[in-house]
């Protein structure tokens, strides 16, 4: 019965909205203090590993299942761009702000863009249920059954790569970004990716960092010598936003199966790129720091970091309403 269906739908929305309100007032300040310790790695290396074992048994098998999925999202029409947004369960308002601003899949009439939020499994069953309900409303959430935590961000990115390789292999480009990033979609699509030109292959760009491991245990980016003995990382793009041709998704995912996992997802993707012989391009439009809002400045960027949901709306509204103004 249509009335029953819509009644259920309304109930779901109301329930979801009130839960969202509840969370927005009770949300603890996000802080990673206390999660700095590097988890002990299981070094279950058998002494009797043969050559054939090394070849056939992945070092990092990524043996997870999709528990929330959108397997048909690409079926009707190959998208030009898939945007993968790393997010956590409680960031309901950040996801909603993105849906209503730059992540709106219907922004361009002639360019097909898909927006997907990436999550693992929370240890709190209520949060998992809320995310499932949110997914039933918006159909833009993908969850695998690994434990969602800061130290598992690499698994989240690899899940996104796997999703593109499995369900959307004919997409042209992919962007991986975070839930506190403002993306200037016009610049990303028309200035950088240029839909009228031949799609690139083995292409990777963002804010390139040439750095080395931080050995200070108090740092959010601490890396132990045990896990990464070298003093330099290969060039990598800041995880706040990087863009690549869709063929790279499968290449990275497959390379990761034979590459020891590191918890810093952007560094890890850099390691996979080096193995693949793909060099990330520097692009000054990707800002991995916060940048005060000004219309003319934001018109020149591709990404800006540390944008709250409220700012996201304000920036979007201002830019949308001033399209006629010149800088
Ligand atoms: C390795 O293989 C040898 C001979 O096949 C066997 O005696 C030994 O117990 C094995 N060691 C391990 C750690 O499995
Ligand atoms: C990462 O996910 C795996 C698989 O679910 C889990 O065993 C592990 O405890 C998680 N690590 C952290 C640091 O949460």
Provide the angle, in degrees to the nearest 10, between the axes of the packed helices 2-26 and 125-138.
130
pLDDT of residue 278: 98
Spans of the chain, pLDDT less than 70: 1-56
Q: Is 237 helix (H, G, I), strand (E, B) or coil?
A: strand
pLDDT of residue 57: 73
Indicate the Cα dihedral angle 174, 179, 180, 183, nearest 10°: 30
pLDDT of residue 32: 33
Cβ < 6 Å from ligand 1: which residues?
Answer: 46-48
DSSP state of 187: I
* Tens-place pLDDT, residues 157-182: 999 999 999 999 999 999 999 999 99
* Tens-place pLDDT, residues 101-142: 999 999 999 999 999 999 999 999 999 999 999 999 999 999
Spell out the residues 6+ positions from residue 280 whose beta carbon is closer than 8 angstroms to its own: 204, 205, 206, 208, 235, 236, 237, 242, 270, 273
Which ligand sits nearest to residue 144's alpha carbon? 2
35 Cα: distance to centroid of ligand 2 (angstroms):
13
CB atoms within 10 A of CB 257: 13
Q: 204-209 and 303-304: which strand pairing?
A: unpaired
Task: Reply yes or no on domain 66-321 having CATH 3.40.50.1000.
Answer: no
Spell out the residues 6+ positions from residue 216 whose beta carbon is closer than 8 angstroms to its own: 222
CA distances from 54 to 42, 125, 276, 292 (A): 17, 38, 19, 50
Q: Length of the chain, please?
A: 327
pTM: 0.82
Query: Which residue puts its alpha carbon closest to atom 4 of ligand 1?
Result: 48
State the closest ligand 1 atom to the C-alpha of 47, by its place in the atom list counted from 1: 13
CA-to-CA distance for 121 and 299, rounded, in angstroms?
37
For 112-213, list the strands marked E by DSSP. 113-121, 141-147, 173-178, 182-183, 204-209
pLDDT of residue 40: 43
């Amino acid at each position: 019965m249509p009335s029953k269906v819509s009644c259920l739908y309304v109930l779901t929305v109301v329930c979801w909205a009130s839960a969202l309100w509840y969370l927005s007032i009770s949300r603890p300040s996000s802080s990673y203090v206390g999660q700095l310790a590097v988890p002990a790695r299981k070094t279950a290396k058998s002494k009797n590993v043969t050559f054939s074992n090394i070849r056939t048994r992945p070092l990092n098998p990524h043996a997870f299942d999709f528990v929330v999925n959108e397997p048909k999202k690409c079926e009707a029409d190959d998208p030009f761009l898939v945007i993968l947004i790393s997010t956590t369960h409680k960031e309901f308002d950040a996801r909603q702000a993105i849906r209503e601003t730059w992540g709106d899949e219907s922004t361009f009439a002639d360019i097909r863009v898909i927006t997907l939020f990436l999550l693992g499994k929370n240890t709190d069953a209520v949060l998992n249920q809320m995310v499932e309900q949110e997914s039933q409303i918006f159909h833009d959430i993908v969850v695998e059954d690994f434990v969602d935590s800061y130290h598992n961000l690499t698994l989240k990115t690899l899940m996104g790569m796997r999703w593109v390789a499995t369900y959307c292999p004919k997409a042209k480009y992919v962007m991986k970004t975070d839930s506190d990033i403002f993306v200037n979609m016009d610049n990303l699509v028309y200035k950088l990716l240029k839909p009228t030109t031949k799609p690139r292959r083995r292409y990777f760009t963002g804010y390139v960092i040439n750095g080395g491991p931080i050995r200070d245990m108090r740092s959010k980016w601490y890396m132990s010598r045990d896990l990464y003995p070298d003093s330099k990382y290969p060039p990598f793009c800041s995880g706040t936003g990087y863009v690549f041709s869709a063929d790279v998704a499968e290449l990275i995912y497959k390379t990761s199966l034979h590459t020891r996992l590191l918890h810093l997802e952007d560094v890890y993707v850099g390691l996979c790129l080096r193995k693949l012989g793909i060099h990330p391009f520097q692009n000054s439009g990707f800002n991995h720091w916060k940048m005060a809002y000004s219309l003319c400045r934001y018109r020149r960027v591709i990404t800006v970091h540390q944008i709250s949901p409220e700012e996201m709306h304000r920036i979007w509204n201002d830019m949308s309403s001033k399209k006629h103004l010149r800088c």
